[in-house]
Amino acid sequence: MLHFKKLVFFVCLLTLSMTAMAATVPFGTEKTLAVSLNNIIATTPVPVLTKKQQREVRKQEKLLKKIEKIKAGSKSWIAALLLTWFLGVLGIGRFYLGYTWQGVVQLLTLGGLGIWVLIDFIRIIIKDLQPKDGSYDK
């Protein structure tokens, strides 16, 4: 992996230097510079991963996908429904869905004396009230 990073850095550096030289080189010599750059890239060995390294890369990719899913803050529809029904007067359903200020207002007004809780419960059932950062888990 370290060799690959060095290779990418070298190619970027070479491309930048070729571009800078192309600005100062007389017209018509750009083709020669491009051909020499292609020869350098073509002769550079591409690193080959072993089977063990390939398995490790796949494992890391799966872990990264799981982390991205957790980071996205995916929410459960059932959890939102149950939290709103049982603890909606305290605004817990709104806190869970990411609507912090509305949760605070529900907490202070006891869920709009229960009316707001009922409206939220119905909106969650018909999936009109979605999490702030996206949608529910599938």
pLDDT band at 40, cuts 50/70/90?
Answer: low
Residue 126: pLDDT over 90? yes
Residue spans of the domains in the chain: they are: 2-71, 77-125
| Whether 94 contacts 80, CB under 8 Å | no
Render pLDDT for 52-93 as a digit per residue (tens, 0 to 9). Answer: 888 888 888 888 877 776 665 678 899 999 999 999 899 999
Q: How many CA atoms lie within 13 A of 27 on its CB side?
A: 0
**CA separation (Å) from 5 to 1, 8, 59, 99, 121?**
6, 5, 21, 43, 53
pLDDT, mean over the chain? 77
Q: What is the pLDDT of residue 20?
A: 52
Q: What is the pLDDT of residue 76?
A: 86
| Whether 54 contacts 110, CB under 8 Å | no
Q: What is the pLDDT of residue 19?
A: 56
Report the alpha-carbon distance of residue 23 to residue 34 in Å, rounded: 13
